[in-house]
Chains A and B, each alone.
Chain A
């Protein structure tokens, strides 16, 4: 599989037949690959293809079960991150490894053994030097808990540069960045390449691969698929390598089943309970209609998750209205400041598939039956829970959604990602919802599971459910949704028709509205709406 590259430069890092197992799961299966000096190598693969696990072995977080690692042609035995540092490898993890109560400078010098005396001032000075060299803006004395996500990432990158690493590994660095920040990061990476550093960037965004990398290594299901020169390939070819078969992003879309409003959100504001006063949702207004899928697009962390959680009753809004409309009676019900149980007691079937499946939607250590019971345990009189209905439901879902599990008594955490999601979505749909909200429901799922989720959402739409779908893949949003609401930094920057909207248009709106307020959103609904009075206000 080794291709004879045209680029000069000796191999900086070489992996030979690396295998890693977690219990009976094989995360990496005899992977061999090579990184050359002075290049940017993209590692491409779907979620769960073993990219991060592979890189974690180079970084010393895990140790391979089999195979060896060569650095500069010599075998490297990496048992710990310390070893990895000594070989000049620095990894920037997806989840930042920073200590909240430390300052940037303290985090940066943490673990350095250069024999010098502890001198935080000198360290801060050096941090400033590096920052100005690459164009970062960072205050070395600022505490991490007071920092934004991109500031934290900057700290992580400086941490690696400070150590003078020759080989840099970045695990999905752009997932949390705006396009502008991504551009800035890419500039830095190019400058580092000119310095002769070797860089691995893990991503599953094809356009970024095309833009930044010299070569691309593709992994699929833990195995090495191949390496190609970026200049000699295209997105289609890479996709084919990545998924193993040609993907027709052909999600069926039926016309909206109904044409009336079901959920009306007006001027909703919410500020973070933990960080004082930071507005996460700023004057959000929209209507979700029965029988349609409303997509919500935005850069990760723009408030999508909090919006759904606020509607579901998990956060207290500062101001604004959340109103549910009974179509038949015309009755308006206020949902704001109601807990999930109170909403349920009002007879409103609001289902919610949260982003964090095992941390919020399900309890990993409980079996499928007990997880089914989460929504229904209060039913029935008396002190005792009745496990028969959830058991029936569990069996029904396992059967109809083809959940692969030894049985309904299996702990949910032992299921694979796709099956976990099937269990969760199945439960939420089983409640026969009138509103179904789903946050990133296909994240980390394989193609087949993803399509099953799309199908389920469409089925709900056809039943007249108001579906709200928060997604990250624009192609999916454009193919699936009837309307797409774009939010940026907690404000609505646009409401588009899913059938006519252009990808570029959505992308542009996603990065808009940095200063709030003066966002030039297309006037579609919000402007012409009359104020809705809630029943109990």
Chain B
């Protein structure tokens, strides 16, 4: 009966070379190590791409990237401003994601906030006292974001309308609404309405630092969202609904209410980001003012496994890449889109590496004997 001793068999088919199993538990160290390796590999590839295109030596490319993010005081402030805005947007989408509501409409929700803020500045600027205007701007922005979050949520909650596609469409509705506003606010047909028109309701600069307010808001928001998700009744309800709607119904959670409430919150925070962008920083609006951050935020949140604290790191990483690559393209006279390519490549690596954290790959080197340990491939 010993099969190994038997004569060679006619085998109709080869056994497949690779088999994949899910890891039962992922050690923290391994998870971190895999991600670190992925980022490193991505940086190497990005470096190689850059070198091929520029002929520069790799060190100077990385130095340039670093300079792009941390080169000088103002640059560092700008980097932190970018992180703050991206982080806030990511924090906004996270409650919805925890609920498994795939809100990819942050771009539109933020833009709605921008628009409402700009509208308030345009409509009431100079007419009412500045402090009142600032309040109205805040209320308008938050409300506009909340409404943009509310609409798909109502349909998802009541009729299970696909929220991914719905929120995606809402982005473009927001863009066109902004275009509409631009045409009204600036009769010259310009593509942007700037500080000359939006001249009132500028939020104060703290300690002479233009971006400090936003950074403080982001920090406070991170802590708040962290506690909201992990230590409040609402946060607990969100987790239950996200994990299992049946369980939520079983214990009497009103699933519809939670979906709608959470999306209002998500949208409202997006609206707040809009306020920070227009009222706090740019004092201008155009249809590209959010610049894809609503989409990047999805990646930030997802890469951090929806953990607000980890999101500070992932948003830092993405902003660093973007600004670094932006600097490289300026310095070497590239088109600004160069940074998109580099960001894309690095994202591919980070997205792909999750696989090696969650799954185990076995290579079946020929036919295994009983009890022989399997070879394991890790994420390098």
Residues from chain B with a CB closer than 8 A to the CB of A19 are 370
CB-CB under 8 A from A66, the residues of chain B are: 368, 370-371
* Residues of chain B lying within 8 A (CB to CB) of residue A359: 244, 246-247
User: Is A361 in contact with B247, judged by CB distance below 8 angstroms?
Assistant: yes
Tell me the complex Cα distance, A339–B257, Å: 14
B11 and A77 within 8 A (CB) = yes
Q: Mark B1-39, 1 if CB is under 8 A from A, else 0.
A: 101000001111111100101001100000000000000
Taking the complex as formed, is B231 at the interface, i.e. its CB lies under 8 A from any CB of chain A? yes
Q: Does A17 contact B (CB under 8 A)?
A: yes
Chain A residues, CB < 8 A from B3? 16, 68
Binds B, one of A108-116, A252-260, A367-375: A367-375
Q: Which residue of B lies closest to A83 (CB)?
A: B13
Contacts of B24 in A (CB 8 A): 23-24, 414
Instruction: Tell me if A344 and B232 are in contact (CB < 8 A).
Output: no
Q: Which of A35-69 contact B (CB under 8 A)?
A: 63, 66-68
Asked if B59 is an interface residue, CB under 8 A from chain A, the answer is no
Interchain CB contact under 8 A, B247 and A360: yes
Task: Kindly state the separation between the CA atoms of A359 and B243 in the bound complex, as whole angstroms.
Answer: 9
Docked-complex contact A313 and B11, CB < 8 angstroms? no
Distance in angstroms between the alpha carbons of A356 and B237 in the assembled complex: 20
B208 interfacial contact with A, CB 8 Å: no
Interface size on A, residues (CB 8 A): 46
In the complex, how many angstroms separate the beta carbon of B248 from the nearest chain A beta carbon?
A: 9
* Distance between A529 CB and nearest chain B CB, rounded to angstroms: 30
Q: Does B254 sit at the interface, judged by CB under 8 A?
A: yes
The chain B residue with its CB closest to the CB of A2 is: B1
User: Which B residues are in CB contact (< 8 Å) with A312?
Assistant: 250
Q: Does B150 contact A (CB under 8 A)?
A: no
List residues of chain A with CB within 8 A of the CB of B15: 77, 79
Q: How many residues of B contact A (CB 8 A)?
A: 36
B residues within 8 A CB of A375?
Answer: 251
Most buried by A among B15, B239, B240: B240
**Chain B residues within CB distance 8 Å of chain A:** 1, 3, 9-16, 19, 21, 24-25, 231-237, 239-240, 243-244, 246-247, 249-254, 368, 370-371
Binding site for B on A (CB under 8 A): 16-17, 19, 22-24, 63, 66-68, 74-77, 79, 83, 312-314, 339-344, 352, 354, 356, 359-366, 370, 373-375, 377-378, 383-385, 414
Known: A66-B368, A361-B250. 17 other contacts (CB 8 A): A16-B1, A19-B370, A23-B24, A79-B16, A312-B250, A313-B252, A339-B252, A340-B249, A341-B252, A354-B250, A360-B246, A363-B243, A366-B243, A373-B236, A377-B237, A385-B236, A414-B24
Q: List 20 A-B contacts (CB under 8 A).
A: A19-B370, A75-B9, A77-B11, A79-B15, A79-B16, A314-B249, A314-B250, A340-B252, A341-B253, A359-B244, A362-B247, A363-B243, A364-B243, A365-B243, A366-B240, A373-B236, A384-B233, A385-B231, A385-B235, A414-B24
CB-CB nearest 8 A-B residue pairs: A340-B252, A341-B252, A23-B24, A360-B246, A363-B243, A77-B13, A383-B232, A79-B16
